[in-house]
Structure 1
Amino acid sequence: MLKLSGVIITFNEERNIEKCLQSLVDVVDEIVAVDSFSTDQTKTICQRYNVKFVEQKFLGYIEQKNFALKQATYNHVVSLDGDEALSERLQQSIIRLKTNWQYDGYYANRFNNFSGQWIKYSDWYPNKKLRVFDKTKAEWKGINPHDNVQLHNLNAKTGHLKGDILHWTYQSYAEMDKKTEYFSTIAAKAYMGKGKTAPFWKLLWNPSWAFFKAYILRLGFLDGKNGFRICYQTGKITYLKYYKLRALYRAKS
């Protein structure tokens, strides 16, 4: 029977990490957590579940997740963040893979919870993610903080699993605003490193289009007040990325 490693990166995840571990413990054959020196109870909680706990200074989201993959004993992995967990249906789907693995990687839908509400529309669902894969055939790529798993072979075959990755995002608007500032700063620096430009028209068009697509085309309005706030924040973070990128270029010149 095929063996699986559950791989997680963590930092101060005491609010969510136990749900994550409980969803993995009967599915995988080992759990690896790479932690960025948490100052809360994350490590203590992980030790209750016989986790292989590795402390590593934060390298960047992409770099940290690739480092975590290297700590896994088995090639076939289930990769989660500390604020995510497998639904019961997804747990069963993954268990079945252990005797019937057919593809290089498997997608699952991610179901996001915002301030106690499961968000069913906008860009937040189905939010398809490749999180079950053969680590010898894939790695984390993208532009920080927007990381994603990419298979090495363009002709690689993928499947889609039934069930959801449950994701607990923000518990309040204030927390969301704080993370928006944080992530937009990371993204602006990453964009600059990639040589991306920030002409003035992008400050107007890109945020407007991001909001319209999420709120109207992807039916974000059906999620009520929280749906509006999420779509507004989608536009805001887009604006801030380019605003901060322009500021970085001005400072450099």
Structure 2
Amino acid sequence: MDSLNKIAAIILTYNEEQHISRCINSLKNTVDEIFIVDSFSKDKTLEIAESLGARVYQNPWVNYATQFNWALENCDIQSQWVWRIDADEYYEDNKKLDLKKSLSNLDQDITGIYIKRKIIFMDKPLLHGGWFPVWHLKIWKYGKGFCENRWMDEHIKLTEGTTTQLDCVQVDENFNNLTWWTDKHNHYATREVVDLLDTKYQIFSKSSVEPNFFGTGEQRKRYLKLAYLKFPLFLRPFIYFSYRYFFKLGFLDGKSGFVWHILQGFWYRFLVDAKIYELKLKFKNDEQEIIEFIKKEYSTK
């Protein structure tokens, strides 16, 4: 296969039978290869993916970054470009943009593409509160980037080249109910605790994304995470919610937006702080013991 301007999509899956066909079908007329890296699903995810022409691999789950980097190293990718997309996401086709043609017109030193991410929650696109448009590096030249190994907030880090933006949208719309959502975010909260403490104490390794408020979206997000860490426990969820919902006009997204901001912008972040407080109580605020506990329980090596 001539790899020039061809695109390979990589999708990590586990029990995604209700999402995977939508995701694959949204990509079929745009990408050339679709790779599924599955964590031993128990439903019909693999059957559906294979029927739609995707190539399926399986590998035990450790965390997102480890799984995605395994995919980059082990999938038989023949394309020039790689696209990172989750099973519950899909490509919102832009009739005004020919993605392949746009890639062919790029300067040779461009190795990464930022595209827009849109969240749909309870049938409502979240267009306010700072949630849209948010630009993410989702497409990059194969061999020129990797997923930084963090437990949360992992980004693609380019090893060389520059980036640009293309006006296409990757939509995040999950069909599961709120019981599933809150359970998932309970697990996310534990990962967020590990990531926040790793960010604060540099437990595992120095971040490959340098914090910079005036830099890329990833650099700005990392800068704001460090700033967030400086606020007191339990106060910062109130600040975060107020900033998103009032200052960034999240209230304009109606009832669905209100539920989102209460759950994602307040409850979730309050839960993270409660779990950090629980650790502080368990180890009597001994930072070294907390660090050793995180190293023992969450090291990926």
Show structure 1 runs of 5+ residues with no match.
none
Match of residue 57 from structure 2: 54
Q: Secondary structure at the match of 2:154?
A: strand
Match of residue 205 from structure 1: 235
Match of residue 167 from structure 2: 162
> Of the candidates 210, 226, 247, which is equivalent to residue 256 of structure 2?
226
Q: Secondary structure at the match of 2:137?
A: strand
Match of residue 23 from structure 2: 20
Measured on the aligned residues, the alpha-carbon RMSD in Å equals 2.5
- Return 243-252 or 53-62, whichever deviates more: 243-252
Q: How does 1:141-220 map to 2 (within 5 A)?
A: 141=148, 143-153=150-160, 156-169=161-174, 171-196=176-201, 202-220=232-250
> Of the candidates 29, 37, 40, which is equivalent to residue 37 of structure 1?
40
The aligned amino acid for 1:138 is G
Q: 1:123 offset after TM fit, Å?
A: 3.6
- 2:135 matched to 1:128? yes
Deviations 1:212-242 (A, max 9, x none): 1210122110011111121122122222222
- 2:69 matched to 1:66? yes
Match of residue 118 from structure 1: 125
The aligned amino acid for 2:237 is P
Q: Secondary structure at the match of 1:147?
A: coil
The aligned amino acid for 2:101 is R
Q: Secondary structure at the match of 1:5?
A: strand
The aligned amino acid for 2:194 is K
Is the contact made by 1:170 and 1:176 (CA closer than 8 Å) also made in structure 2? no
Q: Secondary structure at the match of 1:15?
A: coil
Which has the larger strand fraction?
1
Q: Distance in 1 between matches of 2:16 and 2:247?
A: 34
Deviations 1:93-125 (A, max 9, x none): 422234323321111111111122222112421
Deviations 1:125-178 (A, max 9, x none): 11211111113222112632322212234xx42111112101113643333322
Is the contact made by 1:115 and 1:172 (CA closer than 8 Å) also made in structure 2? no
Match of residue 104 from structure 1: 111
Describe the shift of the 1:160–1:219 C-alpha distance in structure 2 as closer, same or farther (beyond 3 A): same
- 2:277 matched to 1:246? yes
| Runs of 4+ off more than 4 Å | 193-201
Q: Distance in 2 between matches of 1:90 and 1:124?
A: 23
Asked which structure has the greater RCO (Cα within 8 Å, sep 6+), the reply is 1
Q: 1:194 offset after TM fit, Å?
A: 4.7
Q: Distance in 1 between matches of 2:245 and 2:170?
A: 23
Q: Distance in 1 between matches of 2:239 and 2:190?
A: 21
Q: When the two structures are superposed, what TM-score results if normalisation uses the length of structure 2? A: 0.75
Describe the shift of the 1:39–1:243 C-alpha distance in structure 2 as closer, same or farther (beyond 3 A): same
The aligned amino acid for 2:49 is C
Is the contact made by 1:85 and 1:165 (CA closer than 8 Å) also made in structure 2? yes
Query: Sequence identity, in percent?
Result: 24
Q: When the two structures are superposed, what TM-score results if normalisation uses the length of structure 1? A: 0.88
Q: Secondary structure at the match of 2:120?
A: strand
The aligned amino acid for 1:174 is T
Is the contact made by 1:90 and 1:164 (CA closer than 8 Å) also made in structure 2? no
- Return 84-93 or 60-69, whichever deviates more: 84-93
Deviations 1:52-109 (A, max 9, x none): 1010111201111121222233341111011111111189442223432332111111
Q: Distance in 1 between matches of 2:150 and 2:236?
A: 17
- Return 24-33 or 65-74, whichever deviates more: 65-74
Q: Distance in 2 between matches of 1:239 and 1:90?
A: 41
Describe the shift of the 1:175–1:47 C-alpha distance in structure 2 as closer, same or farther (beyond 3 A): same
Q: 1:13 offset after TM fit, Å?
A: 1.0
